[in-house]
Amino acid sequence: MDLRKLREINIRETKQKVKDSVTDDLILIQGVHAYNELIRVESRLLNVLKEWYGYYFPELTEKDNFPELIPESKNVLMKKFGIKETMGSDLSDNDVKTIKDFSKQISELKKSRISIEDYISIKMKKIAPELYKTATSIVGARLIERAGSLKHLAELPSSTIQILGAEKSLFRHLRQKTKPPKYGVIFFHPDLVKAKQDEKGKAARKLAARISIAVKQDYFRNERH
Amino acid sequence: MDLRKLREINIRETKQKVKDSVTDDLILIQGVHAYNELIRVESRLLNVLKEWYGYYFPELTEKDNFPELIPESKNVLMKKFGIKETMGSDLSDNDVKTIKDFSKQISELKKSRISIEDYISIKMKKIAPELYKTATSIVGARLIERAGSLKHLAELPSSTIQILGAEKSLFRHLRQKTKPPKYGVIFFHPDLVKAKQDEKGKAARKLAARISIAVKQDYFRNERH
């Protein structure tokens, strides 16, 4: 076999290896990045919208459902809020149209975020069904994202899983002797959300232990194939 | 006149004053906020998209027009790039669809940004036609945004206008004796973009002087009305 042919085979094999190295959890991680970024982006644009719209109808407050109410006309809003006049300025039609378009854009982003949420959920059920059941879709996916892969998450001790995603606060603890973090991304798990403030630490420890077992089941089940 | 009536008149007048205090330049500033935020958001989401899509078709590089190329199928792209095989993984249809939807969302954001750019341009022509001519639409609008109002911008000396928007670098200069900034938001003006590196400072000074005159013309023209 001549050298050129050998080289060709070599390149082909390397390319195949590169292809195969992309496992499903790595693609999931990209979905999580998109999801996290969309949440951040949504809230930043929403802040701009609130301030902008505030000149037009300041009676709309933080608590109101912003992008959903903005398409309404001023008169409809005044009726809804039970007021006869608003302190807001009479903006030009073009101003109002631009604000409403901007608001629509934020609603579109929200839809985008929700569809990526569904995508993550489908992928989680496939890659890590036990983790999905124990940690919920988003929390589980974020744990994989923080760990870097399903394999790496399966290798982590439960005490690390508990504070995964709280790296900043952990390093602050190590440097400045502040309190150590009690939880990272698992903070948004229903078990922790509903736990009382002084029981959150204990709930986090319990949950992390269960997650640690679930993720090992998922990982070694895949390994057997 | 009884006290209740007096109080009512008082409230009505105050409300009117609040209404009147919202001048057109304040609304413009909100538009600039939206514009700046959209630019930031676009670039953040684009970074996520590039990394994500990179698993599928790594041959697409930074220089390529991302959101526009992604809707193409892999085969079309391979032909376009003149390659016979890609190192990218064979993602599932759902993966590819999700990435393409995400990409579409970024294109929508871009459209949104461009329409706000048009909005800013229309408003600038109305509020500050001289500034618009001298500084261009976006640079002029950003100067008003940084100054807080057209009035305040008209009161600033040209040396401040020159570095408006470079506050961070100015304070770093004052604290740590680094070099003072030569330009702020006017950096994106065509005059400065096309100036040679060692002439940018001079060009900035000249431009700031012209802007300073233009904005005074605009402000006092409005005042006379």
**Which CATH number is A94's domain given?**
1.10.287.4070
pLDDT at A62: 65
**Residues in chain A within 8 Å Cβ distance of B102:** 34, 112, 116
Residue A77 — very low, low, confident or very high, per pLDDT cuts 50/70/90? confident
| Residues of chain A with C-beta less than 8 angstroms from the C-beta of B26 | 55
Are B123 and B146 in a shared domain?
A: no
Q: Which residue has the higher pLDDT, A80 or B122?
A: B122
**Residue B15 covered by a domain:** no
Q: How far, in Å, are A29, A66, B13, B76 from residue A63 at the CA level?
A: 33, 8, 28, 48
Tens digit of pLDDT for each residue in B149-175? 999 999 999 999 999 988 888 888 888
Q: Are residues A133 and A212 in the same domain?
A: yes
Q: Which of A9, A74, A105, A126 to mutate to test the interface with B (most CBs of B within 10 A)?
A: A105
DSSP letters, B135-164, are: H-HHHHHHHHHHHSSHHHHHHS-HHHHHHT
The reply to whether A114 touches chain B by the CB within 8 Å rule is no
Within-domain flag for B16: no
- Domain assignment present for A11: no
By Cβ distance, the residue of A41, A55, A85 closest to B30 is A55
- Residue B108, domain member (yes or no): yes
- Chain A neighbors of B37, CB-CB under 8 A: 44-45, 48
Q: What pLDDT band is residue B73 in, cutting at 50, 70 and 90?
A: confident
Q: CA of A22 to nearest chain B CA: how many angstroms apart?
A: 7
Nearest CA in chain A to B104: A112
Q: Judge if A85 and A159 occupy the same domain.
A: no
Residues A104 and A153 in one domain: no
B109 and B147, same structural domain?
A: no
Is residue A75 domain-resident?
A: yes
Residues A81/A57, Cβ–Cβ less than 8 Å: no
The answer to whether the Cβ–Cβ distance between A98 and B115 falls below 8 Å is yes
Nearest CA in chain A to B94: A119
Same domain, B36 and B56: yes
**Do A207 and A139 share a structural domain?**
yes
Instruction: Please report whether residue A177 resides in a domain.
Output: yes
Domain count, chain A: 2
Domain boundary among B88, B110, B127: B127
CA distance B101 to B94: 10
pTM of the model: 0.86
Supply the pLDDT for residue A34. Answer: 96
Domain boundary among B81, B110, B127: B127
Answer with the one of A111, A127, A143 that is the final residue of a domain: A127
- A217–chain B nearest CA distance, Å: 24
Give the pLDDT of residue A80: 80
Taking the Cβ of residue A109 and every Cβ of chain B, the question of whether any pair is shorter than 8 Å is answered with yes
A31/B52 Cβ within 8 A:
yes
Please tell me whether residues B106 and B135 are part of one structural domain.
no
Q: Which chain A residues touch B27 with a CB distance below 8 Å?
A: 52, 55, 89, 91, 95
Tell me the C-alpha to C-alpha distance, in Å, between residue B63 and each of A19, A65, B42: 23, 40, 16
| Whether B22 and A98 lie within 8 Å, measured CB to CB | no
Q: Tell me, what CATH number does A148's domain have?
A: 1.10.246.90
pLDDT for residue B66: 66
Residue in the structure block whose two tokens are 């006092």: B220
Q: From CA A43, how far away is CA B199, in angstroms rounded?
A: 41
> Is B15 part of the contact surface with chain A (CB cutoff 8 Å)?
yes
Query: For residue B57, what pLDDT is reported?
Result: 84
Name the helix (H) or strand (E) containing A74: helix A74-81
Cβ contact A112–B122 (<8 Å): no
Torsion of CA B151, B157, B162, B164, to 10 degrees: -50
Alpha-carbon span B219 to B225, nearest angstrom: 11
Residue A194 touches chain B, beta carbons under 8 Å: no
Contact A109 B112 (CB under 8 A): no
Q: What is the pLDDT of residue B157?
A: 95
Contact between A55 and A91 (Cβ < 8 Å): yes
Q: What is the DSSP letter of A8?
A: H
Q: What is the pLDDT of residues B29-71, one digit of tens each?
A: 999 999 999 999 999 999 999 899 888 888 777 666 667 777 7
The verdict on a CB contact (< 8 Å) between A87 and B55 is no
Asked whether residue B193 is assigned to any structural domain, the reply reads yes
Q: How far is CA B56 from CA A30, A117, A118, B47, B76, in A?
A: 12, 20, 20, 15, 14
pLDDT at B130: 96
Whether A34 has its CB under 8 Å from any CB of chain B: the answer is yes
In this complex, is the C-beta atom of B39 within 8 Å of any C-beta atom belonging to chain A?
no
Computed over every residue of chain A, the mean pLDDT equals: 89
Question: Looking at the structure, do residues A134 and A205 belong to the same domain, yes or no?
Answer: yes
Chain B positions in Cβ-Cβ contact with residue A18 (cut-off 8 Å): 87
Q: What percent of chain A has pLDDT over 70?
A: 95
Would an 8 Å CB–CB cutoff place A49 in contact with chain B?
yes
Predicted confidence (pLDDT) at residue B207 exceeds the cutoff of 70: yes
Residue of A nearest to B15 (CA): A87
Residues B173 and B206 in one domain: yes
Range(s) of the domain holding residue A93: 23-127
Determine contact, residues B55/A26, Cβ cutoff 8 Å: yes
B104 & B141 share domain: no
Together in a domain, B90 and B118? yes
Give domain status of residue A81, yes or no: yes
Q: Which of A37, A55, A94 sits opposite B48 (nearest CB)?
A: A37
In tens, the pLDDT along A171-217 reads 888 888 888 888 899 999 999 999 999 999 999 999 999 999 999 99
In chain B, the residue whose alpha carbon lies closest to the alpha carbon of A109 is: B105
Question: Is any Cβ of chain A less than 8 angstroms from the Cβ of B143?
Answer: no
Q: Which contacts qualify for B10-18: CB closer than 8 Å, 24 or more apart?
A: B15/A85, B15/A87, B18/A87
